Structure formats: C-alpha cells, structure tokens
Chains A and B, each alone.
Chain A
Amino acid sequence: MTTTVEECTDPVALSLWHPVVAVAELNPQEIQTTLLLGYQISYGLRNDGSLGAARQDQPRVELPVRSRYGYLWVCLGEPRGDVFDIPEAEEADRRTLNAASIMVNTSAPRAVENFLDMGHFPFVHGGFLGVEPHTEVVDYEVTIENSEVWARQCLFYQPQAAASASGGQISEYTYRVPHPYCVMLTKSSPTDPSRQDVIGLFIQVMTQERIRAHNFLSVLDEDSSDTVLKRFQQIIFSQDKPILENQYPKLLPLDPRVEVPIRADKSAIAYRRWLSELGLTYSVIPGDQNSTGQATTGQRSL
C-alpha cells in the first residue's frame, strides 16, 4: 500500500520550532533527511559547526534553525519568537542528554497527553513509576501561565521513580507544556532534593499520525552512566509505545463528547482546551462547538 503524505498547511504548526535531531548525533558534513509536518527536509552540520536545514523541494531556501538543549530545531514558516526557555537546563553543573529518539505511529498530542498522565503508571509502568494497588490520582493544580499549561503538586506513589532511586517513594511532579508538541516535567533530584531534575518529551511531528519522540534529560545525577540513564528512559518509553499505537482515533479529538475525562485528567482537559484556543488543527480533530451530529474519526487513508 502506498502512503500519501499530506503537507501541513496549518499556520499555527508551521510557525513553531520543531525538534529534528540531537546535535550530538550529527556527523560534520553528513546530510541527513527526515520528515517534518509532511515535508521531506534535509539537514546537517557544517565544518564550521553551524547547522543548516532545507526542504527537499526547495533546496536553496535555508530554513530558520536553532540549536538549543542539545537539539536542532527547525521552523518551516515564519518563527514567532525563540524556542521556549528551560531555566533549569541552563545551570552549569547539569548533565543534559538525549535519552532516545523513538518513532511512534501516533499523533504528537496523544504522546503529550500520555506524558501528562499519572493514572496509567501502575498499569503500564508497573514496578517502576507505579504499582497496584496504589492507583489513586489525588487532586492537583492546573493553571495556564504565559500561554503555557502547568500542572503542579502532582503526587504519586512510585516504586522506582528513576534509575538512581532505591525503594518506593511518593514523587511530586510539576508538568509544563510550553509548546503544542513538547512537554516536560520537573521533580526534585534524588541527589539534591532542593533542585529539580528535568525530563522532557520534544516531539518531531513527521506527519499527523507519525512522530519521532526525542526524550530530553537534564539531571544532577553524577553517578549513573549515560547508558544507565538512557536505558531507564527507554524501558519506560517502550512500555508507552504499544499503548500509543493502539489509540483510536490517532489524532487527538478536541470535542469533549468523544472521550470521557475524569478529575485525574484535569491537565489533559486544560491541554485540549489550550490547543483549541491556539487554533491548532494539525494532529488533532478540531472540536466543532456547534456540531450536533456524530463526530467522525478524522482517520485518513493508511
């Protein structure tokens, strides 16, 4: 079967910065290609250390690029401002790395919602981020600040919260969605509880239903090797991937009448509303407030 890839025309998605690759994984002068919002693009690292990217159908038009937090970010339209700030990651004594870049057959907002979700920990990450019968999601605080979604005081019992954790603990997370396709959490570091470790999921939207999720880490752990840190994240992500690939429809429905939310989903509800308000249409099924008929899945040909 042939896959027809539709090129994105959503002005909101086109004006965003999109992560494409971990810069550390680039070799100088090697040109790589990938899909971004349905467009074939090429990118690479020049000898002078600068980064470049272009659409394959317009090889002479240089696309705006940025190098931040270890990733190459590309914009396919007119960028509005810079890549969002991560103040914690600017601290000098941090270890910042890309734990993995994993392809998933789902839409970016489905992956963002999964990242925001604590309720699945005991069922999907049993023995790591949660364990039965500790299934309760206690109330937490959700706000919209500076056009970002924040969820604070997110508490959950975790048998092994991180690679460096020994034994169970009640973890407290703060979640932040600074970008429709990027999400991160901060939690107090096991090595210095007064400071925050950051785990991010920066999603490269290849098409509406296919993503490459770049898993960002910025931690104060000086003991665990890169391999140990990466492996932990990869185990967690490998548990999420089959769930994400079995959600239907793949695109995130913004109409509240398509899926049933509960109190535990407060952050996801805020995220869906926020996407609606941004007017984003790429990777979602926009909610039609006036619709009285049946919602269609928005599923396209495969």
Chain B
Amino acid sequence: MSQNHTRDESKTTATNEVEDLSLRWFPIGRSDDAAHRHVHHAKLLGRELAVWRADDDYLNVWENRCLHRGVRLSIGHNDGTELKCIYHGWRYASRTAGCTYIPAHPADAPARTICNRTFPAGERYGLMWTTEQGEGSPPEIPALEAGSPFALRSLPFDAPAALIEEHLDQYQSGGEVTVTELGPHNLLLTSDQASIVFFIQPVDSGESVVHSVLTTAPNPQNELVVLHHHARALTALRDRIETVASRLPEPTPLEPALEQIEPTDLDGQTPPSRDEAELRVTVARKWETGEGIKAFELVPLTGQLPTVQPGAHIDVHLPNGLVRQYSLTNRAGEQEHYVIGVKLEPDSRGGSACLHESVREGDVLAISAPRHNFSLRRDALDTILIAGGIGITPLLSMAETLSQGGHPFTLHYFAQSSSHLAFPDRLEELGDACRTHLGLSPEQTGDQLKDILDSYTTSQHVYICGPGPMLDAARDLAEGHRWPESAVHFEYFKNTTEVDKSAEFTISLARSGVTTTVGAGQSILKVLRDQGIAMPSSCEQGACGTCVVGVIKGEPLHQDVYLKPGERASGERIVTCVSRSLSDELILDI
C-alpha cells in the first residue's frame, strides 16, 4: 500500500487530484448493497456507476449509462445473468457487458462493438471496491488483515473528502483519538475504546461517502449497541463537517470524460474479426455427455471471452492442424467459459477423432471469436426448435434462453436412443418443453416432422439443426405447410453440394473500385484476400454464412446451403467461399 500520498494544503488542481486518484481503489458501497436481482447506484470521482451482482455472485461495476441513449442502467432490470435497459430492452451480459439482444431488430445479432464500459470490481472487508484505471485488487490494510473486520454503516456527507479527513480527529469514540493516514482517503483511528479504519469514497468534488470498518468485530450480543454508538458518532461528525462545508465556496463538480465508441454500421452487423484464431483457451473440463458425445468446457487463458449469443459457433483450431466449427452450448448468460459438444463421427477425417482421443483437460487450444449467423429471435409468440442428433448443441442454448425469458417454445430432439441424448441433465430442467423422439426410422422421422410443422400460425418461428437429409425434409414440409421463409431458420453441419469451380468471371469491388478475375478453381474469397481485403470466413464450404457479401449487380451461381431460397432468388447476397457467377461480371458491395 502506498504511503507516499501527500496532501498539498494549498490545494492541488482538481484534475491532478483526479488523475492521481483514478489509479486508486475505493469502496463504492457495502457488499450487501448489491443484493441479487438489484442494481446499486454508486458514484466515484464524479462518474456514476451501476453495480450489480449476477446470480453466480459475479460483481459487475459498469458506467451507469446505456450506450444507446444514455439512460441510467441503475434503473434497469437485473435478471440474474443480464442487465436489461429499461428504455429499449437492450440486454447486456454479466462479466463482458456486451450487448446480447436488441429487441427493435430481433433477427440481428448485436454488433460486438456494443459493449458497456466496465471497471474492475473487488470485495474486501464487507465493502465493494472499484478503481477507474488502477490494477490489482483492493488495498490490504494490515490492521484489518490481523483483526476480524466488521463493516459499520456507510454514511454520505455533503463535503469534500479532504475536509472529512481534516476533521476526522473529532470523531467521538470515547477518549483521546489518534488518526493515522494509511493512504489517500484511507485513515486509521484509534482510541481507548475502538480501532476503526475509515475509507472515504470521493463521490464528487463536494460529496463523499464515509465507510468505516472496525478492526475487531464486537461480541454478537453487543453488535446492536456498537452499531448504534458508531452511527451516532458518525452522524455527529457529519453534522459538524457539513456545517463547515456549507460555509466554503461550492467546488466545481468533476466532469468525467465519456469514452468514445467505435461507430457501428447501421445494419448492426458485427464486422467479424479477421483474425480467425484470436483467442487462446484451456480445456478446463472434458466429459462424456451422451453416447459418443464429448463435451468440452473452454476457459480463457487471460481476460474475458467475447459475449455469447444463443446459436453462435466458433472455429476450433485443432492440434493436428485441422479447423472445425462447433456451436456453443452455453447456458443463457453463461459467460465465464464456452461449452461445446462434439460427436465422434465414424468417418471422421480427423476433427472429432482428435478432440475425442487426443485433446485432454489442461490442453490449450486456439479458437475464433463467436460468429452469430444463426440468431434467435425473442419476439415470437411460439418457437419450435427441431434438433437431429448433435444438432442439439445450438438449440439447447436457444431453448434455455427462451425458457429463462419466459417465451413459449417446444424443443423436439430426435436421437437414436436415450443414451445418445446429449446434456441429459439440462434437458431435464426444460421439463415438458423438451420432447424426445427416439430410434425413429427416416419414414417415422418424416411423419413426426409432418405433425410438428403441420400448421403455421402468425408470429411462429422454427429453428432446425441436424443432418442434411432431415433438414431438407423439414424445410420441404415447412414450405408445404405454408410457413413463410422468414419464419424458418436452419443450420447445416456441412454443405454436400458438389461445387462447380470451372467458370472464370470478373468481380468488381464497388467501394474500392478494384476489378479482378476469379479463375477456374479459385474462390471469390481467396481472390478477395489476395487483393488484401480482410475477409472473415469460417467453414469455407458454404454452410456457415460468415463470408457473405452483398451483390450490387450480376447473377450469382449459388452453391451454398446457407442462404434461404428467397435470398438466393433475389441475388443480393453471395457466399464467397463456394458460390460463383453466372454472369460475366459480379459487382460486390465491398
């Protein structure tokens, strides 16, 4: 703990003091001020903070304004895993403060750049702490480390912190008192009767909160008497100090700077990161979650993992050099790690076999940030989720999100047998909303799907993930039963289309003016990259939709399984890893 803070009696300028103090840790409330499902409003050095505890006890300290329209998040709702802004219902995840859902655009995944400002949080001596720009953890006070700290009532003062420090020796604790400065706004008071550490929270230039912690906890029978005594003493001190403060000229309030944000494009689309293996994770847990299915829990080597939205997938770079895509199966609001489920494919080309057989707990893997090309709407009056086999992974995450939000849904899970069901404990928690269909033949599966997709009612949505033939059957049925294309969402494991790479054509890039040729055997994606364009991609076989770009002119030859029939027909978008051109030239919106 630094002892070298000197208080200049001739008054340092406010800015210097703020710069200095911005590196320090300060208490911002008692730990019990942040009760579950509540948002505590605090202020430090002129900056308002929204302080909230998730159900897993993680303490979040955020700038108290929603990035959208500046509304205080302290009047929002803490639902246990996310904080929901009261104005437009934007949801922000615990830990990362990343936006997970924007109700005005239910079909879009929020841009990754929409993330509230967070501050470090800590809890010590019954108090919650934060620091604007500091590092490490809240200060350790020897007198409290050695004793049995007991936090007293915290009291707001209409007075500058420095003025309180000056008058602290007037605290009536019984007998002579000695005040020792332990650090900035942090003092030890000792008398015959008590030994108290005071932490003064500089709320603003003229406002403070005094937090006080006894070095020795009172005898439990005596607690109330002790609390009462100190509350009276502190209130008396406050009256005295506030009288002095009221005679002084009012100090200028601090003006904390607002952090600037990256301008996002209005489509709200996340510009996916070019770096495909940007994250390093450790396999914290590997377990068998169903017959032939291993689950992996991946924790970051450092810092936080990017915010997860249901339906997201990541690229996993395997030790054998292969790159594979896996859906995240995180629970709603689960941010501290990523969970994936991997089925051992009998004809594995080395992806699932490597994860099943070689990768062990403790191994480090490189992964991409989550990609959100299979987004969940939360504005449906009814949602049907249809999973075939390992296709359960994104849908389980969706089901739990809908369940937590109180949205009506049914999850249909087709599997070989009950032992082949992945994550059985989590399925059980879904109760009647989860229906399993076990050991059905392809014909029986078709009949069952027909029943499920029998009738469409307005504002219903269906999400399907599973093997190709099942997906094709479900899509045909939905179309036959008059489901609008916009209500049918699907994710293929892979693209089994035979890709024709024979034709040669020209591409023109509208934004850069470049024109170039895509030769036989080349992909548009590769040619764009050769031009130095930072193109994101993931599966590179036309299934995931990561490398989609807009088409301004020309007729695409679609060879992917990502775009919906209407999107293909409109010719406005193209999956650049596999699709090509029927016209001599394509003008791309890039």
Closest residue on chain A to residue B253 by CB atoms: A301
Closest residue on chain A to residue B378 by CB atoms: A133
Q: Given A122-B89, A247-B69, A262-B266, do A295 and B103 touch, yes or no (CB 8 Å)?
A: no
Contacts of A297 in B (CB 8 A): 255-258
Q: Does B56 contact A (CB under 8 A)?
A: no
Q: Does B250 contact A (CB under 8 A)?
A: yes
Please give the distance in Å from B383's CB to the nearest CB on chain A: 10
Question: Does A137 contact B258, Cβ atoms closer than 8 Å?
Answer: no
Question: Pick the contact of A302 from B253, B262, B268, B407 — CB < 8 Å?
Answer: B253
Contacts of B568 in A (CB 8 A): none
Q: Does A7 contact B (CB under 8 A)?
A: no
Q: Given A259-B70, A262-B102, A264-B105, do A135 and B268 touch, yes or no (CB 8 Å)?
A: no
Question: Pick the contact of A258 from B87, B104, B260, B379 — CB < 8 Å?
Answer: B260
Q: Given A119-B88, A243-B71, A246-B72, do A262 and B263 touch, yes or no (CB 8 Å)?
A: no
Question: Does B379 contact A263, Cβ atoms closer than 8 Å?
Answer: no
- Cα distance, A120 to B380, chains bound together (Å): 18
Q: Does B464 contact A (CB under 8 A)?
A: no
- Cα distance, A276 to B88, chains bound together (Å): 25
Contacts of A263 in B (CB 8 A): 104-105, 266-268
Question: Pick the contact of A257 from B107, B260, B407 — CB < 8 Å?
Answer: B260
- Cα distance, A264 to B89, chains bound together (Å): 13
Question: Pick the contact of B380 from A2, A133, A294 — CB < 8 Å?
Answer: A133
- Cα distance, A137 to B407, chains bound together (Å): 20
Question: Does A248 contact B105, Cβ atoms closer than 8 Å?
Answer: no
Contacts of B69 in A (CB 8 A): 113, 247, 259
Contacts of B268 in A (CB 8 A): 262-263
Question: Does A243 contact B103, Cβ atoms closer than 8 Å?
Answer: no
Contacts of A243 in B (CB 8 A): 71, 86-87
Question: Does A133 contact B258, Cβ atoms closer than 8 Å?
Answer: no
Closest residue on chain A to residue B88 by CB atoms: A119
Say which one of B60-68, B145-153, B308-316 lies at the interface with A: B60-68
Indicate with 1 or 0, residue by residue over B231-262, a CB within 8 angstroms of chain A CB atoms: 00000000000000000001011011111111
Q: Does B75 contact A (CB under 8 A)?
A: yes
Question: Pick the contact of B89 from A1, A123, A248, A261 — CB < 8 Å?
Answer: A123
- Cα distance, A187 to B308, chains bound together (Å): 40
- Cα distance, A263 to B267, chains bound together (Å): 6
Q: Does B48 contact A (CB under 8 A)?
A: yes
Question: Does A248 contact B72, Cβ atoms closer than 8 Å?
Answer: yes
Contacts of B258 in A (CB 8 A): 249, 258, 294-297
- Cα distance, A192 to B104, chains bound together (Å): 30
Please give the distance in Å from A253's CB to the nearest CB on chain B: 8
Please give the distance in Å from B389's CB to the nearest CB on chain A: 30
Question: Does B105 contact A256, Cβ atoms closer than 8 Å?
Answer: no
Q: Does B471 contact A (CB under 8 A)?
A: no
Contacts of A266 in B (CB 8 A): 266
- Secondary structure at the A interface, as helix, strand, loop or mixed, is loop
Question: Pick the contact of B86 from A123, A137, A269, A294 — CB < 8 Å?
Answer: A123
- Cα distance, A119 to B87, chains bound together (Å): 8
Q: Given A123-B86, A133-B379, A299-B255, do A256 and B263 touch, yes or no (CB 8 Å)?
A: yes
Question: Does B89 contact A262, Cβ atoms closer than 8 Å?
Answer: no
Question: Pick the contact of B104 from A137, A242, A299 — CB < 8 Å?
Answer: A137
Q: Given A135-B89, A297-B256, A302-B253, do A246 and B71 touch, yes or no (CB 8 Å)?
A: yes
- Cα distance, A182 to B476, chains bound together (Å): 52
Give residues of chain B (60-111) contacting chain A, Cβ–Cβ below 8 Å. Answer: 64-65, 67-72, 75, 86-89, 102-107
Question: Does B259 contact A294, Cβ atoms closer than 8 Å?
Answer: yes
Q: Does B45 contact A (CB under 8 A)?
A: no
Please give the distance in Å from A242's CB to the nearest CB on chain B: 8
Please give the distance in Å from A169's CB to the nearest CB on chain B: 15
Q: Does B305 contact A (CB under 8 A)?
A: no
Question: Does B114 contact A260, Cβ atoms closer than 8 Å?
Answer: yes
Question: Does A264 contact B48, Cβ atoms closer than 8 Å?
Answer: no
- Cα distance, A262 to B69, chains bound together (Å): 11
Number of interface residues of A (CB under 8 A): 41
- Secondary structure at the B interface, as helix, strand, loop or mixed, is loop
Q: Does B418 contact A (CB under 8 A)?
A: no
- Cα distance, A122 to B85, chains bound together (Å): 13
Question: Pick the contact of A120 from B88, B113, B250, B261 — CB < 8 Å?
Answer: B88
- Cα distance, A242 to B74, chains bound together (Å): 13
Indicate with 1 or 0, residue by residue over A274-300, a CB within 8 angstroms of chain B CB atoms: 000000000000000000001111010
Please give the distance in Å from B327's CB to the nearest CB on chain A: 24
- Cα distance, A39 to B263, chains bound together (Å): 37
Contacts of A249 in B (CB 8 A): 70, 258
Q: Given A120-B88, A243-B71, do A248 and B65 touch, yes or no (CB 8 Å)?
A: yes
Question: Does B71 contact A137, Cβ atoms closer than 8 Å?
Answer: no
Question: Does A135 contact B72, Cβ atoms closer than 8 Å?
Answer: no
Contacts of B381 in A (CB 8 A): 133
Contacts of B255 in A (CB 8 A): 296-297, 299
Closest residue on chain A to residue B408 by CB atoms: A133
Closest residue on chain B to residue A269 by CB atoms: B266
Contacts of A256 in B (CB 8 A): 263
Contacts of B87 in A (CB 8 A): 120, 123-124, 243
Question: Does A248 contact B48, Cβ atoms closer than 8 Å?
Answer: yes
Q: Given A123-B89, A243-B86, A257-B261, do A248 and B70 touch, yes or no (CB 8 Å)?
A: yes
- Cα distance, A249 to B89, chains bound together (Å): 20
- Cα distance, A158 to B253, chains bound together (Å): 43
Give residues of chain A (54-78) contacting chain B, Cβ–Cβ below 8 Å. Answer: none
Q: Does B264 contact A (CB under 8 A)?
A: yes
- Cα distance, A261 to B264, chains bound together (Å): 8
Q: Given A243-B71, A248-B72, do A137 and B263 touch, yes or no (CB 8 Å)?
A: no
Please give the distance in Å from A133's CB to the nearest CB on chain B: 4
- Cα distance, A297 to B259, chains bound together (Å): 10
Closest residue on chain A to residue B258 by CB atoms: A295
Question: Does A260 contact B261, Cβ atoms closer than 8 Å?
Answer: yes
Q: Given A123-B86, A257-B261, A262-B266, do A301 and B252 touch, yes or no (CB 8 Å)?
A: yes
Contacts of B72 in A (CB 8 A): 246-248
Q: Does A136 contact B (CB under 8 A)?
A: yes
- Cα distance, A135 to B103, chains bound together (Å): 5
Q: Does A195 contact B (CB under 8 A)?
A: no
Question: Does B105 contact A259, Cβ atoms closer than 8 Å?
Answer: no
Closest residue on chain A to residue B256 by CB atoms: A297
Give residues of chain A (104-150) contacting chain B, Cβ–Cβ below 8 Å. Answer: 113, 118-120, 122-124, 132-137
Further contacts, 4 of them, CB under 8 A, given A1-B250, A260-B67, A260-B264: A122-B103, A247-B69, A259-B261, A297-B258
Ordered nearest first, which 8 A-B pairs have the shortest CB separation?
A135-B103, A294-B257, A119-B104, A264-B104, A133-B379, A257-B260, A137-B104, A246-B72
Mind listing 22 A-B residue pairs with CB under 8 Å? A119-B88, A122-B89, A124-B86, A133-B380, A135-B106, A136-B107, A137-B105, A243-B87, A248-B70, A248-B71, A258-B258, A259-B70, A259-B261, A261-B68, A262-B105, A263-B266, A263-B268, A264-B105, A294-B257, A295-B258, A296-B258, A297-B255
A residues adjacent to B (C-beta < 8 A): 1-2, 113, 118-120, 122-124, 132-137, 242-243, 246-249, 253, 255-264, 266, 269, 294-297, 299, 301-302
